[in-house]
Amino acid sequence: MEKNRKKVFEFLDQFGMDALVADGFDDAIVGVVVEDDYPKVVYDSYKCIDILVEGGMKEDEAAEYFDYNVVGSYVGEQTPIFIYPISKI
């Protein structure tokens, strides 16, 4: 849902900041954190995996793909953060 992405950028615009997002995972956005003056979008890892499963992957494939290709991708200081919410552990 693009609504989450829009909210993030509206929030950051108030402070003249910008952030990177992980394409295709807008529904998994849970918030924003600012670390060392760099805003980072925060995602629910479980929801990201669910999104991949909804897209046609098997759960184990989705988890492996997510770990390697999404979490394992560093794209600079504003690389998004992927959390495992305590409520789901």
Instruction: Kindly report the average pLDDT of the chain as a whole number.
Output: 92
pLDDT, tens only, 24-47: 999 999 999 998 888 999 999 999
What phi-psi label fits residue 20: left (phi over 0), alpha (psi between -120 and 50 degrees) or beta? Answer: beta
- Say how far apart CA 47 and CA 64 lie, in whole Å: 14
Identify the DSSP state of 39.
E
User: Confidence class of residue 16 from pLDDT cuts 50, 70 and 90?
Assistant: confident
Report, as an integer, the average pLDDT of 1-18: 86
